[in-house]
Amino acid sequence: MKIKKTSRKKEKIKKRLVPLTIIGAIIIGILYQQLSIYFNASNLGRMGRLIEVNGVNMHLYEAGNSDIPIVFTGNIGSNVPFVDLYPLHNALSQNHHVMVYDKPGYGWSDYTSASRDIDTICQEIHTALHSNDVPGDEDTYLEPFVFVAQGMGALEAIRYTQLYPEDVAGIVFIEGTSPGFCADYNNIMIIESFLINITRNTGLLRLIGNSNFVSNAFNDNPELSDKLRDLNKGIGLEKNWNRNVIEEKLKLASNAEVILSGLGDEKLGDLPIRVITSEANTYSTWNRTQKALLSLSSDSAQYFVEGSTSVIEANDVPTMLTVIEELITHIYELREDY
């Protein structure tokens, strides 16, 4: 009988140890994650400046000079738009004023408690881009710019143009998603985003930081320098699929509906629009999506590249640069005609 009592006690202890061990491991993982963020902060120094917008800091990178600025926005879920779009904005900065912003929750920007609805996002972008404007001094005002939008960043480019048409001189979509595509988007893969969020917060993602899973999750571009890749990975381990980005993706359909409801018969009128499409895209409805972007303006054209749909490959950069440069030349010509 004593043996049975002892064995029962051991079983009870084992049953209690399992959840305690799991809880302990989670606590250790969370501490590991927070300490890693603290000690790695010095290696992730920002490239631009911080601007206070609605009580939080937004990061804005600027380089170069020109009469027509070029503003870049990345895809939803991008860790560091500065890195993802580097091959383009770095080349263009030699002759143009380029700007790359981080929405709250991205790159070097803070997290925010503000809703991730499209109008709030665009208002934040507008405030950041116009941070150098001095009331009454027109020389300081931001000139109408060319918006270069990658992936689902197309939504904010379109909505921004609807809200602030005087700001936008033209748009270049790189594998852009149309509002119609986003309105019907199947968000089932948001489960993966939640899982990444959990593994990141508990330190597990950092433990497997060198795996292919992490490289894929962080949209790693092997053609970039080690410094840029380390930057992308470091900030990704800190912020990848955080609550702001997840909320933005959850609002994808409703944000798209807001845009669609704001498109009249003329849509964006004769605003110059250029659509860059990857021939590697396997979405069955992608051709229709790209045509929908073309239909936004009476002054639109489509160009094709062969490379990846998720990263900007070196072989495609010359075509993309040519499209952007030709669009800027076209805008100058339109101004001369008026």
Q: Measured between alpha carbons, how far is 181 from 253 in angstroms, rounded to an integer?
A: 9
**Does 199 lie in the same domain as 230?**
yes
Specify whether 238 is located in the same domain as 286.
Answer: yes
Instruction: Look at 10-14, 142-146, 234-238 and tell me which has the smallest mean pLDDT.
Output: 10-14
- Average the pLDDT over 267-285 and give the result: 92
Please check the confidence at residue 322 and state whether its pLDDT lies above 50.
yes
Both 13 and 97 in one domain: the answer is no
Instruction: Report the DSSP beta bridge partners of residue 289.
Output: none
The domain in which residue 22 lies consists of: 2-41
Residue 334: count of CB within 10 angstroms of its CB: 14
Rounded to an integer, the average pLDDT of 305-315 is 87
Q: 109, 51 in Cβ contact below 8 A?
A: no
Query: Residues 80, 219: one domain?
Result: yes
| Total domains present in the chain | 2
Q: Which residue has the higher pLDDT, 121 or 13?
A: 121
Higher pLDDT, 32 or 123: 123
pLDDT of residue 200: 82
What φ, ψ does residue 282 adopt, rounded to 5°?
-105, 0
- Residue environment code for 86-121, b if the CB has 16+ CB neighbours within 10 A, otherwise e: bbbbebbbeebbbbbbbbbbbbbbbebebebbbebb
Is residue 2 pLDDT above 70, yes or no?
Answer: no
Same domain, 108 and 9: no
**pLDDT value at 43 more than 70:** no
- In the predicted structure, residue 34 carries a pLDDT above the cut 60: no
Once rounded to an integer, what is the mean pLDDT over residues 175-196? Answer: 88
Residues 126 and 247 in one domain: yes
Q: Does residue 33 sit in the same domain as residue 112?
A: no
What tokens appear for 291 in the block?
A: 């045509």
Do residue 6 and residue 125 come from a single domain? Answer: no
Q: What size, in residues, is the chain? A: 338
The residue ranking higher by pLDDT, 208 or 23, is 208
Looking at the fold, whether 217 and 106 belong to one and the same domain comes out as yes
Please indicate, yes or no, whether residues 61 and 25 belong to a single structural domain of this protein. Answer: no
pLDDT at residue 38, as a whole number: 45
Higher per-residue confidence, 34 vs 242: 242
Cα–Cα separations (whole angstroms), residue 336 to 147, 318, 331:
21, 27, 9
Mean pLDDT value across residues 312-319: 94
Do the beta carbons of residue 180 and residue 292 sit within 8 Å?
Answer: yes
For 307, list phi and psi in degrees, rounded to 5: -80, -165
What kind and span of H or E run contains 146? strand 145-150
Taking a C-beta distance cutoff of 8 angstroms, is the pair 63, 198 a contact?
no
Task: Provide the pLDDT confidence category of residue 135 given band limits of 50, 70 and 90.
Answer: confident
Question: pLDDT digit string (tens) for 63-85?
Answer: 999 999 999 999 999 999 999 99
Averaged pLDDT score across all residues of the chain: 88
User: Which residues are paired to 98 by β-bridges?
Assistant: 63, 70
pTM of the entire structure? 0.88
- Per-residue pLDDT at 311: 87
Q: What is the CATH number of the domain that holds 274?
A: 3.40.50.1820
Examine the domain organization and report whether 21 and 68 are in the same domain. Answer: no
Say what percent of the chain tops pLDDT 70.
Answer: 86
Q: Are residues 195 and 260 in the same domain?
A: yes
Predicted confidence (pLDDT) at residue 58 exceeds the cutoff of 70:
yes
Q: What is the 3-state secondary structure (H, E, C) of 233-296?
A: HHHHHHHCCCHHHHHHHHCHHHHHHHHHHHCCCCCCCCCCEEEEEECCCCCCCHHHHHHHHHCC
Q: How confident is the model at residue 329 (pLDDT cuts 50, 70, 90)?
A: very high
Q: Name the phi and psi angles at 296, rounded to 5.
A: -70, -20
